[in-house]
């Protein structure tokens, strides 16, 4: 193989370059590891070593279609044990270890939890499974004008653990990316 060809093969071994050469543009946002700086920093710096995947005590980190790790809350909740972050040798996170005070005030992901119209209670069928899973009592039920108690969220108190997502029999709960997220 010529020197030029060898260099090309070496460059394409870089995951972010492979994606570029395939001409693929991601339109779907993925939930990466908690507190990553942003998607661009993550996908350009992540080597796809998979150390974070094997380190997760909840087994909720999986590979996306391009081989990058993402969180799948349908598999369970995030305990914020930080093992994924500690296992990563790349500078993908924003001051997690050095700026503890900043971290406490910063959301792990730029997302908001929402309950869709697929919710059983919203369709007048009794269900409160999500409330029973939420340790911080973020999800409350009130009758409002319905004969069945209706769920409401106090997003400010949500820890983003995702425990309620797996509990929902209707797959009605999801984290949606904030509008300002690029």
Q: Please, which residue, 8 or 106, has the CB nearer to ligand SF4?
A: 106
Rounded to a whole number of angstroms, the minimum distance from the CB of residue 82 to ligand SF4 is 12
Residues of the shown chain interacting with ligand SF4 in the complex, contacts defined by CB under 6 A: 33, 46-52, 69, 87-88, 90, 92, 113, 115, 119-121, 127-130, 133-134, 136, 138-139, 151, 158-164, 167-170, 172-173
Residue 164 is labelled as binding a ligand: yes
Residue 119 is labelled as binding a ligand: no
Q: Please, which residue, 71 or 121, has the CB nearer to ligand SF4?
A: 121
Backbone phi and psi for residue 35, each to the nearest 5 degrees, phi listed first: 70, 20
The rounded distance, in Å, linking the Cα atoms of 75 and 117 is: 22
What sign has the CA pseudo-torsion 80, 86, 90, 96? positive
The rounded distance, in Å, linking the Cα atoms of 155 and 52 is: 28
Per the CB < 8 A criterion, the answer to whether 84 and 76 are in contact is: no
Residues of each annotated binding site: 46, 49, 52, 56, 78, 81, 84, 88, 158, 161, 164, 168
């Amino acid at each position: 193989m010529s020197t030029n060809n060898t260099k090309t093969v070496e460059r394409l071994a870089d995951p972010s370059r492979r994606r570029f050469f395939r001409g693929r543009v991601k339109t779907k946002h993925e939930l990466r590891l908690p507190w990553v700086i942003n998607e661009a920093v993550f996908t350009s710096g992540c080597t796809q070593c998979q150390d974070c995947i094997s380190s997760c005590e909840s087994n909720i980190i999986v590979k996306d279609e391009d081989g990058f790790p993402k969180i799948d809350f349908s598999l369970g909740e995030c305990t914020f044990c930080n093992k994924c972050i500690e296992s990563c040798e790349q500078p993908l996170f924003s001051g997690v270890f050095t700026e503890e005070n900043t971290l406490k005030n910063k959301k792990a992901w730029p997302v908001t939890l929402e309950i869709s119209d697929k919710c059983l209670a919203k369709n007048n069928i009794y269900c409160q499974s999500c409330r029973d899973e939420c340790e911080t009592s973020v999800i409350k039920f009130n009758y409002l004008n319905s004969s069945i108690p209706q769920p409401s969220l106090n997003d400010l108190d949500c820890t983003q653990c995702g425990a309620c997502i797996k509990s929902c029999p209707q797959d009605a709960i999801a984290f949606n990316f904030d509008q300002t997220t690029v």
